[in-house]
Structure 1
Amino acid sequence: MTSPYEPGAAPPPSCPGQAVPPPAAAAPPPGCPAHAGPPQATAHPEAHAPVKLYGPDFAADPHRIYARLRQYGVVAPVEIAPEVPALLVTDYRAALELLNDDATWSKDSRAWMQTVPADSPVMPMLHWRPNVFYSDGPAHVRYRDAIVDSFKLVEPHELRARVHHAADTLIRRFGDHGEADLIADYARLIPLLMFNTLFGLPDSYSDRLIAAIAGMLEGNSPEEATAANEAYTQYIMELVGAKKAQRGPDLTSWMMDHPNDLSDEELIHNIILVMGAGNEPLANLIGNALARMLSDDRYYNTVSGGALTVHDAINEVLWNDPPMANYSAHYPVRDVFFHGTWVRAGQLVMVSYAAANSQFDTTGANGPGSGSGSHLAWAAGPHACPVKRHALLIAITAIERLTAWLSDIELATSPAELTWRNGAFHRALAALPARFTPITPDQAGATPWQNSDRSPSSSTRPAPTSTAKATASAR
């Protein structure tokens, strides 16, 4: 892009960061955020007010909020936390344009951070660090290569075996109860158990990692969020210290020995990023996909065949309820006229994967490209998820392992009664209560207590033992 202005559009007078001011007589463009005048005209009666992306109304029905945001146009004003404004891109093609234009849009949040209270609850998600997420250009390539090359050394069969071990460990804890919260007891713990061992620490460290991540994501106060962030950083520093003393066949050691030669600070912050960014989306993906499967009998094997698979459930989630619904924080390097809206240099602009995806049907047939892989749940462009294949393998294997051991598992409540966690960034269930026939250590046949390295036999889903399930996917 050689100019931030559309053909024939007048540039905004005296907008910050503009190299050449326009003639004094030029009228300010409608909706320029640098002017105090009324914003660009729109059909929506509340176009001046930012829309809150937090609170129970948004958590309960975000798609209703996205429909409202589209009335602003391609870019809508939102508030992601009290007194923290942002602009949200809700259009698929505009989102792709932004995500692929790293000449206009930067990931460096340091200038923006000066405009937001330091104790804001969103700061842990947007605070600048020297890692792959907040960097541009050569630094970004350097960090990304170290991460991608290290993950390439994790063989798929080994990763699958690690998921089996983690899944069986968790199923042993609740398998004889006959009931479980599949979010708290399974979906949120699987990624943390996986990352703890993949990065080279024994299982005894898992609980520390679990507590720190939970506090960062759900801290109800600035103090709680700060304490959790400090605990998380301490965990990572101990991890790096242990690997400095003795290398191993793990991601930390491979990143340490990568030819890009990351400094201690860079190594720590990139591990923090990979663990944090990997945990929340992966946990939500597992939980949201399980909710769909347990709400729709199409996902279970039938005598006549034709049932949908775990992969189908995950694709539906990635289209309709992506685990990170709104993110990809970017900041323009100069004032830019973006699809009808002036954006100030350094202003926070996020992409709504959920809103962009929902322009099209769940199969992707009406969307750009072909097939169900054209959703934006993994983002796109140079900052797209670098390890999505690993994430998909973990999610699919975790769900298959659970439903194989607990073949008659079903929701313990109706899909309409499921509740969602508050927050601007994620789409995540607060709980997923389920029931099943208990499995015990002394029962006949293979169980997780006896065969953590064996896959259970697949089985046909038995006849329902409760009221009929809704055929619509859970939302």
Structure 2
Amino acid sequence: MTTPPVPPPGCPAHGSGQRIPLDTPEFAADPQAFYRYMHQLGPTAPVTIAPGVEATLVTDYSAALELLQDPSTFRKDSRRWRALNEGRINPGSPVLPLLAYRPNCMFTDGAEHLRLREAITGSFAQVSNSRLSQITQRAALFLINQFSARGSADLVNDYAKQLPLFVFNELFGCPAEIGDRVLFGISGMFDGVNAEQANQVLVQAVGELVALKRAQPGDDITSHLMRHPAELTDDELVHTLVLLLGAGGEPERNLIGNAFYTMLTDEHYVRNGQFDKALDDTLWRNPPMSNYAPHYPVADTDVAGDKVHAGELVLVSFGAANTALADRGANTRGHLAWSAGPHSCPSKEPARLIALTALETLFSELPDVELAVPADSLAWRPGPFNRALASLPIRFGAVKPRPAAQPKRPEPQRDQAQPTATNRPATPEAPRGKTGRGGWSGFLSWWKGE
């Protein structure tokens, strides 16, 4: 007689038809236990990702790969989402800003998707690896300066959380007053606290950036997007930038934080300088966005034999799929952390370079870093999509902060063409560092030697 699968501790799915919640502290604490249980159910599992929001989660590697490579059956346009169209999704749901339709390449299909995606890949191609490394290292040194003299820090909140957005703000040509609100909007949208307000702040800030760059184009990705032959409208530009800044925020933050976790819990990575291997192993075992890739079947169909209905929300569990393949002995970069098929991450190489530079710079500046608490006491942030530490306390020998280098070019000056702050949503004050100014403003002040 076959023993039926037993749900992991804390999982309420104790009977047939019960859905498994992905937004609980229990799931965040031990997702692998849930994945093992899901694998026993078949190639898919019924889940909830927020109160009242149901989905089918694909957990089998082969089934996930087949789905991701079948855009004719599984579409990305969330205007097909039946539950949303029927009013069954709360408009204030914390997951809605990450699932609702936007006119960018993530939520489009076919020729429209290709046009919007080519604008992204073509614009990123204008940024050399050496420039990206320099920008990342400069932002990393600024953040390290904020805590190096203390001999202790939280690598997630003091470093990994802020670094990618500083890098992307510079790449996209954000002046300080817009950049600070971008930081606030991205963080709030992914944290799920007042997500809709954070989304509104982000969209307004990015809209102001688009207006600024229409008037004052420069050598930045925002301007490159505007000049691209795809001829993006202002609405497409805003939501393409929201996509890129969002993807450059939460997933990159999680990748950097999870890679530090990998290195600090297994000393051979640091001892042997295996930064690349640490990233690969992190992408296999703790992918930064573990459950996402929303799709909607165009008709009733199946996923490896499991039935799904037209317009149903179908997500891919990169974490579960990777685990299943890794457990079978895979030792390649065949993980699904970057997704696959036509909607695979269009900027995975820049994302990897930013993470690699973040790791190398910190260990170069603070070579004796170690965990300040036992690894098993670390808490992971709840959330249906992300795999992310709440904090990563470290200690090290105190180091005197580095002085800022001279900037290569001055920051553009505000003039009449730049949008004003009239009717801007209120945002919390950013944390202040040694510069006496917070967020992106503080970085620019330090970089200019103020």
Please state which band the TM-score falls in when normalised by the shorter chain: 0.7 to 0.9
**Secondary structure of the equivalent of 2:49?**
strand
> Could you give the per-residue CA deviations for residues 280-300 of structure 1, whole angstroms, max 9, x where no partner exists?
111100000111111221022
Q: CA–CA distance in 1 between the matches of 2:366 and 2:390? A: 22
**Secondary structure of the equivalent of 1:146?**
helix
Does 1:153 pair with 2:126? yes
Does 1:384 pair with 2:344? yes
Q: CA–CA distance in 1 between the matches of 2:31 and 2:406? A: 39
What residue identity is the alignment partner of 1:177?
Answer: R
Q: CA–CA distance in 1 between the matches of 2:247 and 2:313? A: 19
Q: CA–CA distance in 1 between the matches of 2:176 and 2:274? A: 31
Q: CA–CA distance in 2 between the matches of 1:437 and 1:451? A: 23
Name 1:330's counterpart in structure 2: 295
Does 1:290 pair with 2:260? yes
Name 1:372's counterpart in structure 2: 332
Report if aligned partners of 1:197, 1:203 keep a CA contact under 8 Å in 2: no
**Secondary structure of the equivalent of 1:173?**
helix
Q: Which runs of 5+ in 1 are unaligned?
A: 1-40, 302-306, 442-447, 454-475
Name 1:143's counterpart in structure 2: 116
CA drift at 1:121: 0.8
Find the partner of 2:284 among 295, 299, 319: 319
Q: Which runs of 5+ in 2 are unaligned?
A: 6-13, 408-450
Does 1:55 pair with 2:24? yes
Report if aligned partners of 1:109, 1:126 keep a CA contact under 8 Å in 2: yes
Q: CA–CA distance in 2 between the matches of 1:171 and 1:293? A: 18
**Secondary structure of the equivalent of 2:139?**
helix
Find the partner of 1:344 among 286, 302, 309: 309
> Could you give the per-residue CA deviations for residues 195-218 of structure 1, whole angstroms, max 9, x where no partner exists?
111001135543322211111111
**Secondary structure of the equivalent of 1:101?**
coil
> Could you give the per-residue CA deviations for residues 13-56 of structure 1, whole angstroms, max 9, x where no partner exists?
xxxxxxxxxxxxxxxxxxxxxxxxxxxx9944633101011111
**Secondary structure of the equivalent of 1:133?**
helix
Q: CA–CA distance in 1 between the matches of 2:216 and 2:183? A: 24
Higher alpha-carbon deviation: 112-121 or 228-237: 112-121
CA drift at 1:360: 2.8
Report if aligned partners of 2:318, 2:336 keep a CA contact under 8 Å in 1: yes
Name 2:181's counterpart in structure 1: 208
Matches within 5 A, 1:61-140: 61-112=30-81, 113-114=84-85, 115-140=88-113
Q: CA–CA distance in 2 between the matches of 1:42 and 1:88? A: 23
Report if aligned partners of 2:178, 2:206 keep a CA contact under 8 Å in 1: no
> Could you give the per-residue CA deviations for residues 35-94 of structure 1, whole angstroms, max 9, x where no partner exists?
xxxxxx994463310101111100100010111112221011000111111000000000
What residue identity is the alignment partner of 1:420?
Answer: W
**Secondary structure of the equivalent of 2:106?**
coil
Report if aligned partners of 2:46, 2:56 keep a CA contact under 8 Å in 1: yes
Report if aligned partners of 2:225, 2:237 keep a CA contact under 8 Å in 1: yes
Does 1:399 pair with 2:353? no
CA drift at 1:450: 5.6
> Could you give the per-residue CA deviations for residues 302-322 of structure 1, whole angstroms, max 9, x where no partner exists?
xxxxx2511111111100010
Higher alpha-carbon deviation: 333-342 or 347-356: 333-342
Name 2:398's counterpart in structure 1: 438
Q: CA–CA distance in 2 between the matches of 1:177 and 1:451? A: 22
Report if aligned partners of 2:187, 2:250 keep a CA contact under 8 Å in 1: no
Report if aligned partners of 2:67, 2:303 keep a CA contact under 8 Å in 1: no
Name 2:375's counterpart in structure 1: 415
Name 1:185's counterpart in structure 2: 158
Name 1:449's counterpart in structure 2: 403
What residue identity is the alignment partner of 2:369?
Answer: I
Q: CA–CA distance in 2 between the matches of 1:395 and 1:300? A: 15
> Could you give the per-residue CA deviations for residues 372-430 of structure 1, whole angstroms, max 9, x where no partner exists?
21000000000000110000000000110011001111111011111100100000000
Report if aligned partners of 1:165, 1:452 keep a CA contact under 8 Å in 2: no
What residue identity is the alignment partner of 1:98?
Answer: L
CA drift at 1:361: 2.8
Q: CA–CA distance in 2 between the matches of 1:215 and 1:194? A: 18
What residue identity is the alignment partner of 2:390?
Answer: A
CA drift at 1:253: 0.3
In structure 2, relative to structure 1, the CA distance for the partners of 1:409 and 1:204 (3 Å cut) is farther
CA drift at 1:278: 2.1
Report if aligned partners of 1:319, 1:357 keep a CA contact under 8 Å in 2: yes
In structure 2, relative to structure 1, the CA distance for the partners of 1:377 and 1:355 (3 Å cut) is same
**Secondary structure of the equivalent of 1:229?**
helix
Q: CA–CA distance in 2 between the matches of 1:351 and 1:412? A: 35
What residue identity is the alignment partner of 1:410?
Answer: E
Name 1:237's counterpart in structure 2: 207
Q: CA–CA distance in 1 between the matches of 2:162 and 2:179? A: 9
> Could you give the per-residue CA deviations for residues 433-460 of structure 1, whole angstroms, max 9, x where no partner exists?
011111114xxxxxx326689xxxxxxx
> What is the RMSD of the two structures over their aligned residues, measured on CA atoms?
1.7
**Secondary structure of the equivalent of 2:105?**
coil
Number of equivalenced pairs:
394
> Could you give the per-residue CA deviations for residues 191-239 of structure 1, whole angstroms, max 9, x where no partner exists?
100111100113554332221111111133xxx1111111101110111
Higher alpha-carbon deviation: 416-425 or 334-343: 334-343
Larger helix fraction of residues: 2
What residue identity is the alignment partner of 2:208?
Answer: E
Higher alpha-carbon deviation: 66-75 or 120-129: 66-75
Normalising by structure 2, report the TM-score.
0.85
What residue identity is the alignment partner of 2:263?
Answer: M
Report if aligned partners of 1:42, 1:71 keep a CA contact under 8 Å in 2: no
In structure 2, relative to structure 1, the CA distance for the partners of 1:205 and 1:167 (3 Å cut) is farther
Identity of aligned residues (%): 46
What residue identity is the alignment partner of 2:249?
Answer: N
